[in-house]
Every structure is written in structure tokens, then in C-alpha cells.
């Protein structure tokens, strides 16, 4: 039985999610033994347009990027978005809050017309994404779990409940009681509530759960004298692309 061919691709992002794959250390040899990596610019010089699974990092921010991701979508049988930028647009989407032309002017000044930038969108705005390894950066072990499941023909088990569940499991004091705000009630778990464990609020890097409990979020905000606007800035840090829909639901 031949090993599945895997291509790992980067678009607009910091490269940290691809680095997480390289940081698998003790797991990397087992991973390489189970799959055939045929395209991975950060790790190998060889490249191929013949792959079954594509792991895609980064948001789509240029017309060239649109062409590349559509080509990948036409080749790969399975696409896995890895990291906040690929899954939700990530930090890159902050420029869209200013408006494209204004953002280009702020960054590039009189050279703004040299930049072929477009509105930032996640990978699934252009191609069908089968699975998501969320986070900033993506959890390296979640990436491995997804690949393992795909190899044996199983559906990866990815949490679809809020970070609050993990917080309670870890015995954390709710950061709202500490005078902070937190996106945990509407953000997908899977990080083991890493930020609240350290006494910080969740910034939402794993994106919203599929069916957030909006009423509970409203009640929480009211309890602490907060408004939707008080938390939307925090939510938009990683989720500006999907933020309008969440805001409308909460309001």
C-alpha cells in the first residue's frame, strides 16, 4: 500500500504553523515514515504537483494567491487548513477594518499602487476545506492527529465546544471575575485553555464554535456591565473576517 502524498503550502502568514510541523521532534520521523511529503518549501528543495493531501497555512491576500489556492484545490483530494490565518483570515484581516486602500496607504505611502493586495480571506473562501487545525500557531499535535486519522480512513475528532469547558476542567477562575474580558464562551476549545491558564483572557485564535451560545454570552456581558463593542475589538484580532456574523447574532 503506497503512502499518501502530502504537500505543505504557505500563503500570507508568519510561517509559524509550518515551523510547528518541523518542531514535532520525536514525532517527525514517525510522521515522515507514514506519509510521503512531496512539497514543503520550508523543509525540502524538491517539489511536486502530485499530492493527495494539502496542508495549507496562511490567508489569501493577493490575486496570485487566489490562483495558487485554486490550483491546489484542483489537485488535492483533501485540504487541511492549519492556523488562524488559513482557517479564519487571522491577524491579516485587521487591514480590512481600515479599508483596503487606506491600509495600503498607511503601510506603503506613495508606493501603495505597487502592491497587488486584495481583501483578506481564509482558505475556505476559495476552495473546499475538509479539516481545520486551528490556533496561532496551530497545535502541532492536532495536526498529527488529523493526519493519523486520514491515513486510517477515520474522521478526525476536533473539539466543537467552547474554551470555557476546558477552563472549568482545569479549575481556572473566570477571568471576567478578575476584571478582564475573554472570548472563551464563543471560541472553539482544543488549546487546553492555554491563555486563561496563565491568567489572560482568550483572544479567540481558534475561531468561533459552530453554534455558539449567544444568549449565555449576552447574559455574561450584562452581568459584568459590558457591551458587544467592548469585546468585538478583542474578537476581531483573529476573526475580523467572520466577526460581522457573530456581532449580528450577539446583538
Per-domain residue ranges for the chain? 5-151, 163-250
Per-residue confidence band for 243, with pLDDT thresholds at 50, 70 and 90 = low
Structure-model confidence comparison of residues 44 and 208, the more confident one:
208
Please report the DSSP string for 156-189 in residue order. -----SBHHHHHHHTTPPPGGGGT----TTTBB-
Structure-model confidence comparison of residues 159 and 33, the more confident one:
159
pLDDT at 83: 97
184-217, pLDDT tens digit by residue?
999 999 999 999 999 999 999 999 998 887 778 8
The SS3 assignment for 77 reads coil
Residues 6+ apart with CB under 8 A from 2: 36
CATH code given to domain 5-151: 3.40.50.700
Structure-model confidence comparison of residues 178 and 116, the more confident one:
178
pLDDT at 246: 58
First-to-final CA distance of the chain = 53
pTM for the complete prediction? 0.90
Angstrom distances, CA of residue 216 to CA of 119, 184, 185, 186, 220: 32, 12, 8, 9, 6
Structure-model confidence comparison of residues 211 and 138, the more confident one:
138
With 80 as the cut, is the pLDDT of residue 251 above it? no
Per-residue confidence band for 247, with pLDDT thresholds at 50, 70 and 90 = low
Per-residue confidence band for 86, with pLDDT thresholds at 50, 70 and 90 = very high
Per-residue confidence band for 29, with pLDDT thresholds at 50, 70 and 90 = low
Residue 59's closest CA among 85, 82, 79, 78? 85
Mean pLDDT, residues 83-101: 91
Per-residue confidence band for 125, with pLDDT thresholds at 50, 70 and 90 = very high
Amino acid at each position: 500500500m503506497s503512502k499518501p502524498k502530502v504537500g505543505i503550502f504557505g500563503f500570507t502568514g508568519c510561517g509559524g504553523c509550518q515551523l510547528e510541523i518541523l518542531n514535532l521532534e520525536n514525532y517527525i520521523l514517525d510522521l515522515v515514515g507514514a506519509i510521503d511529503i512531496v512539497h514543503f518549501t520550508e523543509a525540502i528543495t524538491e517539489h511536486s504537483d502530485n499530492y493527495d493531501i494539502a496542508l495549507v497555512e496562511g490567508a489569501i491576500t493577493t490575486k496570485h494567491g487566489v490562483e495558487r489556492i485554486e490550483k491546489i484545490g484542483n489537485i488535492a483530494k483533501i485540504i487541511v487548513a492549519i492556523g488562524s490565518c488559513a482557517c479564519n483570515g487571522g491577524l491579516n484581516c485587521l487591514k480590512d477594518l481600515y479599508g483596503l486602500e487606506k491600509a495600503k496607504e498607511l503601510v506603503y505611502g506613495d508606493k501603495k499602487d505597487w502592491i497587488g493586495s486584495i481583501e483578506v480571506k481564509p482558505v475556505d473562501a476559495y476552495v473546499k476545506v475538509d479539516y481545520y487545525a486551528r490556533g496561532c500557531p496551530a497545535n502541532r499535535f492536532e495536526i498529527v492527529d488529523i493526519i493519523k486519522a486520514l491515513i486510517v480512513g477515520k474522521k478526525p475528532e476536533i473539539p466543537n465546544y467552547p474554551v470555557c469547558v476546558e477552563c472549568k476542567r482545569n479549575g481556572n477562575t473566570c477571568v471576567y471575575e478578575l476584571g478582564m474580558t475573554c472570548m472563551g464562551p464563543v471560541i472553539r476549545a482544543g488549546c487546553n485553555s492555554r491563555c486563561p491558564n496563565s491568567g489572560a483572557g482568550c483572544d479567540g485564535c481558534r475561531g468561533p464554535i459552530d453554534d455558539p451560545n449567544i444568549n449565555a454570552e449576552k447574559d455574561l456581558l450584562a452581568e459584568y456591565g459590558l457591551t458587544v463593542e467592548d469585546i468585538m475589538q478583542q474578537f476581531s484580532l483573529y476573526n475580523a473576517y467572520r466577526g460581522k456574523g457573530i456581532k449580528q447574532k450577539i446583538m
